[in-house]
Amino acid sequence: MSIDNRGDTWPGRPLVKEFALERKLGLAETVGLSLSVVGPTVAMAFNASLVARAAGRAAPLAFVIGTVALGVVALSFVSFSKRVAHAGSAYVYIGQTLVGDGDSPPAGRCR
């Protein structure tokens, strides 16, 4: 398929008709898109206030403990990514750990 630059074209419109996107969003799609964009922000905004209410004066300590725990999880992902080169992320890492790749025994098992 070739693109023909001859003729009248409006700026911003594609030259090939097949690649044009239809601009149709109904009310349900607009509301869904808006909620999906705002949702993560609202979750983070309420997160701090709920932790502060539940933990009281120990809220900063709770966030520090959570950050350290998340750091340990991140380091395990870094370690797995050095050993297993695959786009499947956690799914593949768990599979390699529990089942193995056929060439070597899975972690915790002997041949």
Average pLDDT of span 38-63 = 89
The residue ranking higher by pLDDT, 66 or 105, is 66
- 88: DSSP letter: T
Structural tokens at position 41 = 């922000």
**Contact (Cβ atoms closer than 8 angstroms) between residue 48 and residue 42:** no
Higher pLDDT, 105 or 91: 91
pLDDT, tens digit (0-9, with 9 covering 90-100), for 12-45: 655 555 666 677 888 998 899 999 999 888 888 8
Find all residues with CB under 8 Å of 25, minimum gap 6, and list them: 33
- pTM to 2 decimal places: 0.48
- pLDDT category of residue 101 using cuts at 50, 70 and 90: low
Residue 14 makes CB contacts below 8 A (sequence gap 6+) with 20
